[in-house]
Amino acid sequence: MKILFALFSYLFGSIPTGYLLYLKINKRDIRNFGSRSIGATNLLRLTDKKTALLAALFDVIKGFIPVFLCLELFDDLFFSLICGFLAVFGHCFPIYIKFKGGKGVATTVGVYLALSLPSLLILVLVFVAIIMITKYVSLGSLVSVMTLPFTALIFGYDKFIIYFGILMFILIAFQHRENIKRLIQGKERKLGEKEA
């Protein structure tokens, strides 16, 4: 049963929301445009706020559902973390579109919506603050996800949640490797800048 649920977590996380929305609107592969990501930020750059918000909401759901159901069905924190990781991993490397997906931030938000509301609240506050100050979504994503292991430590959560937060940061930093290069070079696009 757990093996099937783990597989479900990955396959559900793999649903390429942004890719499907852009394909429906423009009949093209979003991975050929903008940042080449299937996430909401690239959708916002290429389409409109409504489409980007829809993608972001579903990407959050992709992380929330597996962890929430896992906690309810199995009452097993460690296995819930595995399923949460598989959902985020699926978003980043979706089997349906040859393993080239998004950055994983919104799906990680969904995981923490089911796992830890205090940690999620701090993540969102940091994310919003960084974006308001710098206008860089990528920087806001990286710094906010970096708070996850620290908030788990501060709130006295299980050590596996701390390790999970570190793992999420490593995965998301890897997915943002090109953004990090552009940030260092001063070439990263700011929020609201449209693709030419």
Per-residue pLDDT, 34: 84
- Would the pTM count as exceeding 0.85? yes
Which is nearest to 47 in space by CA: 76, 81, 17? 17
* CA 178 – CA 7 distance, rounded (Å): 29
- For 35, the enclosing helix (H) or strand (E) is none
Domain boundaries, the chain: 2-185
Q: What DSSP string runs through 54-115?
A: HHHHHHHHHHHHHHHHHHHHH--HHHHHHHHHHHHHHHHS-GGGTT----SHHHHHHHHHHH
Token duo for residue 142: 């990286």
CA distance 94 to 88: 10
Question: Residue 73: its pLDDT value, please?
Answer: 95
- List of the chain residues with pLDDT < 70: 192-196
CB 159 within 8 A of CB 114: no
pLDDT for the residue numbered 194: 61
